[in-house]
Amino acid sequence: MLVKVSDFRPIACCNTLYKCISKIIVNRIRNSLGDIVSKNQSAFIPGRSIVDNILLAQELMVGYKNKRGVPKCTIKIDIQKAYDTVDWNFLSRILQGFGFHTIMIQWIMACVSTPWFMLNFNGEDHGYFEGKRGLRQGDPLSPYLFTIVMEVFNIILLKKIEAGQNFKFHSKCMSLKITHLCFADDLLVFSYGNWNSARVIRDALDEFKKVSGLKVSMEKSQIFFSCVKPNMRRIILGILPFDIGRFPFKYLGIPMCVTKLFDRDCKQLIEKIKMRIFNWKSKALSFAGRLQLINSVLTSIHVYWASIFKIPIATIKEIEKLCRSFLWANGEVVKGKAKVKWNDILGEIQLHWKQEFLGYFAEEEYELDLEEVP
């Protein structure tokens, strides 16, 4: 139910000509972003991968449920209406500050500031009117500009740390000076578990909000503690009034666990595959069509997870079970429907599946089944 203006989501309509122009500008600036944007941002930077952020975050989460150790905390920050609230004047200033050519800035700002908006109430259109802030979703240029905007937060935070405000680094982060990880608007901040560090983070977020227009969503942001005493937790929560999070939490589509990945942590992966099959059941798909969907879609959904975790054997077998039931019984889990051996169905695809994702990423004892693959 829509009760506030903020509940509405703007829909960007970019024509083909505009997208071509925007893509040309992207191709001109993307190779230079690696020199501008710090390494703790991996979004849309050539040579950087989303997996880097996930693996580093996962490594820092290890031991968070220990009762003894160094006090530490991780803050998962959600930016409210991130793309829609970027201030245009701020964007123009930081492009100048990062050394973009005047003509390039004019081109970029022309792309950003030319949209007109229309409101739809009860099925009727009202408008048009000009906007004053925001980046359009679906614009090829927007993700790169937002990456530059988020780099300002990194600069503000580092300046406050260097100013000697008693900020202490998170465990294992001191040598590399890691304070946060950022992928577009997904932000994880790491610090020692004391009130001085929390105050520095709060001041940096407040200053970033003042200059950029980006505001932290208090309802969706979470803070995770490890070995922090109850009285210190209350002080930190008074400075950063976020909800206390629980493990595992979702970061970039992957569950962040403090231990190895168990079957219960993979439920969302199984549910995603089930949902795909459920949506396909209503379509009149031939046997060949279902086989093609298995080879091209279902067996690739897990690849993102498997590139990061060792997927449990039970989860792998459940995925295979769902694929078989979809192929032979259109999603109905019944026995006796299979007319051909499963290994013969997928052939080389099955060999690749077993070797790459079960043999390398799954648990070692499952490798014994590789010899049975033709």
pTM: 0.80
For residue 28, the Cα-to-chain-centroid distance in whole angstroms is: 25
**Is the predicted pLDDT of residue 125 greater than 80, yes or no?**
no
**Is the predicted pLDDT of residue 25 greater than 90, yes or no?**
yes
Considering only residues 281 and 271, tell me which one the structure prediction assigns the higher pLDDT. Answer: 271
pLDDT at 370: 39
Average pLDDT along the chain: 82
Contact 328, 338 (CB under 8 A): yes
The listed range with the strongest mean pLDDT (221-230, 248-257, 337-346) is: 221-230
Token pair in block for residue 303: 């690849």
pLDDT at 10: 61
Instruction: Encode burial over 297-336: b for 16+ CB neighbours within 10 A, e otherwise.
Output: ebbeebebbbbbbbbbeebbebbbebbbbbbbeebeeeee
Contact 73, 222 (CB under 8 A): no
| Distances from the Cα of 336 to the Cα of 168, 179, 229, angstroms | 62, 56, 58
Report which of 345, 271, 261, 241 is spatially closest to residue 305, judged by C-alpha positions. Answer: 261
CA dist 229 and 155 (Å) reads 31
pLDDT in tens, 289-336: 888 888 888 877 888 888 888 888 888 888 888 888 888 876 565 555
How many Cβ atoms sit within 10 Å of the Cβ of residue 83? 21
pLDDT at 148: 93
CA angle 181, 188, 231 (to 5 degrees): 135
Cis peptide before 140 (omega within 30 of 0): no
CA dist 237 and 122 (Å) reads 42
Determine the straight-line distance between the first and last CA of the chain, rounded to whole angstroms. Answer: 55
Contact 354, 368 (CB under 8 A): no
pLDDT in tens, 99-119: 999 999 999 999 888 877 777
Residues 6+ positions from 164 with CB-CB distance below 8 Å: none
Coil, strand, or helix at residue 183? Answer: strand
**Is the predicted pLDDT of residue 150 greater than 90, yes or no?**
yes
> Of 185-189, 203-207, 287-291, which gets the smallest average pLDDT?
287-291
63: confidence class by pLDDT, cuts 50, 70, 90: confident
- What percent of the chain clears pLDDT 90, i.e. is strictly above it? 31
Considering only residues 211 and 9, tell me which one the structure prediction assigns the higher pLDDT. Answer: 211
Contact 223, 243 (CB under 8 A): yes
pLDDT at 330: 66
pLDDT at 342: 59
373: confidence class by pLDDT, cuts 50, 70, 90: very low
Instruction: Encode burial over 86-123: b for 16+ CB neighbours within 10 A, e otherwise.
Output: bbbebbbebbeebebeeeebebbeebbeebeeeeeeee
pLDDT at 286: 85
